[in-house]
Structure 1
Amino acid sequence: MSRYIAYIDEAGDEGFGKLASGAVGGQSRWLVLGACIVSAENDVLMAGWKDAIVGRFPAKKSRDLHFRELKHDQKVVVCQEIAKLLVGVCVTLSHKVTIAGTKYEDTFKKKGYLYNYLIRWLLERVTQACHKASPDGCSLRVIFSRRGGTNYQSMIDYLQLMRDGREVMRPVRSIVWNVLDIDNIAVENHSKWAGLQIADCVTSAFFSAVEPNLYGNYEPAYGRLLREKLLKRNGIILDCGVTPVPSMQKCAADDRQYAFFDEHR
């Protein structure tokens, strides 16, 4: 049986009470969850891959990879190096402006609800990709990067509820339950796992493509460098390797964000 590991990290935050606007501070406008997927055979190479990337920056004191701490030219190099690795990438992106003021606001104001909802979308796509790659049988272990204040037991309970068919509304897609190993989910510190550091980089790369900086600009170059690593469904990346939530047509993207999503058709 084939075995896969998905390292998962996030960029942005869940809050949407005061969304950032240009130079005015506030909560991120987008919450992005990303997964770096690797086979168990290649997972043993992950630490060496990460060290080789860090080795490109001899003046860097820390041996950890934190995308937000890198300069632009270093971020480009990191994405170029990840694009060479034997990994898959999958991201889901929630534009939180589509929640504020709607009937869903009270639900998603509850701590963990938006995060768990995006995890569901992410795992639907990752488990389906693993199943397609290994139709004769496979398992997926998920390792989350530890984030303060997250109730991971609540998330596991939510996954079990879905697995047991106790949802009020059935999803359009479904997690492939005979692939996902719920009992083997782990939560680990970013600094101790090379896979989580790679996941941080790929997630932050796509966050940069949609989250406006202080000047209202985006940086899609990092995500474009990773395009060949993105999961595909019937040869198409959009709504598989890159999934805006809600859909591209409904996520209230501006022209530049829309153009970035449109590249993944």
Structure 2
Amino acid sequence: MAEGRVLYHAYIDEAGDEGLGKLKVQGVSGGQSQFFAIGAFLVSAESDAQLARWRDDLVKPFPQRKGRDLHFRDLKHEQKVAVCHALAEKPFAACVVLSYKPTIVDSSKYKIFKQPQHLYNYLVRFTLERITAAVRKRAEREGHEASLMVTFSRRQGTDYDVMREYLELIRDGKEKLYSVGKIDWSVFDPVNIRVENHAVRAGLQLSDVITSATYAAFEPGLYGHCESGYCDAIRRKYIRQNGVALNCGLTLIPRLTQNPMPEVQRAFAASFSGK
């Protein structure tokens, strides 16, 4: 970490799965998710010191809750709504990238994503492009240089040394998969990656909230319905480019104009295209 730089923290979690074998079918239990999401919870170092207290504030209204560990999936609907509204009052920024996996399943062009960790790494790349740009812009506004520390939620089957090597390939211009954006290496170095268990870091638990809330707006349940209310509650927290969150704080792969996902999800995503 360069001396004299202002430090920012990004906590990264995922929702859904990378599986491309048998995607879920409406009305049938089992199967792999239609969407896979990577989300980043972005804060300043000053706010980072407060994250355990933020997490405790969120669960305090639930008197029957045991322990401090926060898992979005374990909350009841009303609790999820309350958590999202309360979290939206805190000073953080959100960035979530979602892949619509049916566009990959039968594609020879994207068969590389059927290899373990490749889709995960690719979505992380998109996420880092957006959050490093946001950190740099804030640093420029405030007249300082910045560094970004990235903490991943430990997930089974992920090799984080391979993740670092992948990011170094991108940095060195050796990655072959095209991306419109660029990771801003002036604020991020792949050595500044940590991997922690969900229960250890409050920031990872808060990342779980924003990632899962966004995922719920796109991934249909057993009977085909999505829940957009959680995502709506944190709508103003997604990072923006020129005032627009779509393709920045909320990014769909493929892009919305080329994405064949169902009309309900398309309309909700389109609602993030205005200022």
TM-score interval (norm. to shorter): over 0.9
Query: 1:256 aligned to 2:261?
Result: no
What SS does the aligned partner of 1:158 have? helix
1:71 maps to 2:48: no
3-state DSSP class of the match of 1:134?
helix
Q: What is the Cα deviation at residue 23 of structure 1?
A: 2.9
Deviations 1:89-133 (A, max 9, x none): 000000000001112342111000000000000000000000000
Q: What is the distance in 2 between the residues matched to 1:60 and 1:168?
A: 48
CA distance in 1, matches of 2:206, 2:114: 29
User: 1:103–1:72: structure 2 CA closer, same or farther, 3 Å change rule?
Assistant: same
Moved more, 104-113 or 49-58: 104-113
Unmatched segments (≥5 aa) in structure 2: none
1:53 aligns with 2:58: yes
Which position in structure 2 is the counterpart of 1:12?
16
Distance of 2:181 and 2:15 partners within structure 1? 24
CA positional deviation for 1:155: 1.0
**1:191 aligned counterpart, secondary structure:** coil
**Structure 2 residue 146 is the aligned partner of structure 1 residue 138:** yes
1:188–1:73 Cα change, 3 Å: same
Question: Is 2:104–2:111's contact at 8 Å kept on the other side of the alignment?
Answer: no
Matches within 5 A, 1:87-166: 87-135=92-140, 136-166=144-174
1:189-224: CA deviations, max 9, x gaps? 000110000000110001100001011100000000
Q: TM-score, normalised by structure 1?
A: 0.98
Q: What count of residue pairs does the alignment treat as equivalent? A: 265
Structure 1 residue 170: Cα displacement: 5.1
Shift of 1:261: 0.3
SS in 2 for 1:183: coil
Name the aligned partner's letter for residue 9 of structure 2.
Answer: I
Superposition TM-score, scaled by structure 2 size: 0.94
- 1:32 aligns to what SS in structure 2? strand
